[in-house]
Amino acid sequence: MAHLVYWTFSDIPSEMIDILVKDLSKYDKAIEESVVRDKVGNPESDKDIRKSSNAWIEGSNWVGGFVWYYIMKANRENFMYDIEGLDSNEVQYTQYQEGEYYDWHIDDDINRCMINDKLLTSDDNHGENIAILNGQYIRKLSFSIQLSDPEDYEGGELEFNVNNEGCFFAPNKKGTIIIFDSRINHRVREVKSGVRKSLVGWVVGPRWK
């Protein structure tokens, strides 16, 4: 039976994560206040739900390939979903400072679809192109990669509420990769001190049938 939340204690050396964080520092000037989406998909600032900051990393960046390997591995070993690519061909570099959080939410559900109302983008964005051609897509998998050492912050736990299994925390070891069904209710608890950094994103596929 497949697990709705999957994680791997990757064998990525800590030094490799440090290189990743150092490379991501070039996006520091692009970091801005995080937003949430309303019922029709429009971005809005709602600090009752989310308080954090982030920058967007192009999927064509080497980070996208790095992430995609682990997504495909998890999908083969556990989920076996029909997936196409990264949502909007982007990965989100997220930071939670002291006092910041993301309250309970889901990343998608079976009712979400995309209307064919925009032009195709470049071949790099294969996943979204397929979705547009189909006239609809949904997020099927979500992921989070822990970039910060647990000693760098207090609080900020990634918590899941999975059906009858109740609530539990994901491991916070540096370099841990957590991949989960986008319909799962989850949150990032308030950071009490320090800074929590992560890479997060979503994987799209054809609408559930």
- pLDDT of 57 > 70? The answer is yes
Instruction: Please state, rounded to an integer, the average pLDDT across all residues of the chain.
Output: 86
3 state SS of 190: coil
3 state SS of 171: coil
Which tokens hold the place of 116? 């064919």
Contact in structure between 65 and 124 (CB atoms under 8 Å): no
pLDDT band at 25 (very low <50, low <70, confident <90, very high): very high
CA distance 91 to 27: 12
The predicted pLDDT at position 166 comes to 83
Q: What's the pTM?
A: 0.86
The arithmetic mean of pLDDT across residues 30-38, rounded, is: 87
Q: In the chain, how long is the greatest CA-to-CA distance?
A: 46
The predicted pLDDT at position 128 comes to 53
- pLDDT of 63 > 50? The answer is yes
Within the chain, residue ranges assigned H as helices are 14-24, 62-74, 126-134
Contact in structure between 102 and 188 (CB atoms under 8 Å): yes
CA distance 74 to 94: 22
The predicted pLDDT at position 13 comes to 84
- pLDDT of 202 > 90? The answer is yes
The predicted pLDDT at position 117 comes to 46
The predicted pLDDT at position 51 comes to 96
User: Over the stretch 151-189, which tens digit does the pLDDT of each residue have?
Assistant: 999 999 999 999 867 899 999 999 999 999 999 999 999
The region of weakest confidence among 39-53, 63-77, 79-93, 194-208 is 39-53
SS3 for 138-164 is: EEEEEEEEECCCHHHEEECCEEEEEHH
Task: Calculate the CA 52 to chain-centre distance.
Answer: 14
CA distance 8 to 180: 12
The predicted pLDDT at position 40 comes to 57
